[in-house]
Amino acid sequence: MSEARRPLLIVEDDPALQKQMCWAFDQYDTIVAGDRESAVASIRRHEPPVVTMDLGLPPRPDDPTEGLQLLEEVHALSPDTKVIVLTGQNDRANALRAISLGAYDFCEKPFEPALLGLMLERAFRVHDLQEENRRLQSLQQAPAMSGIVTRDPGMQKICRTVEKIAPTSATLMIIGESGTGKELLARALHDLSPRKSNRFVAINCAAIPENLLESELFGYEKGAFTGAAKQTLGKFETAHGGTLFLDEIGDLP
């Protein structure tokens, strides 16, 4: 299966130049707009990573005002879109003005297709790098769920549920086979909650002998039984203000 072509918006009011650019850059999914209004509509609909734009647009093709206004609208609608401005040979002042307003680069007309093609490749590459950088930053900013890696829609739904429940003080039952990550999910819940500055305490209920269960969970006072040489806090008190994870609770006697 061939790879989908990437959208490239060409904002140009000259029909002959429109055709030339569509032919020269047919490796992209070219979208053509002849004025500011249709260009804005295309930005909203297609969200192209890269746009080429002639500053001189109807109704005043000899005035850069319409093009500069469009440039500002593009950045308002799609801040990451890279805009390459096409200008006349004697119009560098407006090209530099466009750069100051956020245009990625400019190219003088008549342009060399090979040169503009290189600019387009670089613009797409920069756009992709910025998107990847933002994705990696978002992962770093959300460490609580970073231990859970899944593409399964069901598991992703569970993670979203955990994010919603975490701010509450509700008791949560996590059901799943052994080794499916119940404790990992419980830790994520704790790390996302207002209790994260307090302790997360996990206890394997299946590993506690029946005669020691009460002492483990609730603690004991010094001298409460033979060998109780000092006061010992139970898991419930240790986890006070934090989160208590009772693993394998179904195995309690």
Q: Reply yes or no on whether the pLDDT at 138 is more than 70.
A: no
Q: According to the model, what pLDDT value does residue 212 have?
A: 80
Q: Give the pLDDT mean for 175-195.
A: 87
Each residue of 10-58: pLDDT tens digit? 999 999 999 999 999 999 999 999 999 999 999 999 999 999 999 999 9
**Lowest-confidence pick of 65-69, 107-111, 140-144, 223-227:** 140-144
Q: Cα 116 from chain centroid?
A: 30
Please write the tens of the pLDDT for every residue from 99-136. Answer: 999 999 999 988 999 999 999 999 999 999 998 887 77
Amino acid of residue 146: S
Grade residue 6 by pLDDT with cuts at 50, 70 and 90.
very high
Rounded average pLDDT over 192-206 = 88
Strand order of the β-sheet with 7-11 is 29-33, 7-11, 50-54, 82-88, 105-109
Condensed to tens digits (0 to 9), the pLDDT of residues 57-91 reads 999 888 899 999 999 999 999 989 999 999 887 78
Buried b (16+ CB within 10 A) or exposed e, 235-245: beeebeeebbb
Q: Does residue 185 register a pLDDT over 60? A: yes
Residue-level pLDDT at 147:
67
- What pLDDT does residue 1 have? 43
**Structural domains in the chain, sorted by start:** 7-140 (3.40.50.2300), 147-251 (3.40.50.300)
Q: Which comes out higher in pLDDT, residue 144 or 250? A: 250
- The H-assigned helical ranges of the chain are 15-24, 36-46, 65-77, 92-100, 113-140, 153-165, 182-192, 213-218, 235-238
Q: What is the pLDDT of residue 139?
A: 57
CB 150, CB 177: distance < 8 Å: no
Report how far Cα 150 is from the mean position of its chain's Cα atoms.
Answer: 16
Looking only at the bridges linking them, the beta strands covering 50-54 and 105-109 are: unpaired
Higher local confidence (pLDDT), 217 or 22:
22
Tell which wins on pLDDT, 224 or 60.
Answer: 60
Overall pTM > 0.85:
no
Indicate if the pLDDT at residue 199 is higher than 80.
yes
Token pair 């429109």 in the structure block, residue: 18
* Percent of the chain clearing pLDDT 90 (strictly above): 44
The most confident of the ranges 68-77, 196-205, 216-225 is: 68-77
Q: How far apart are CA 73 and CA 152, in angstroms?
A: 38
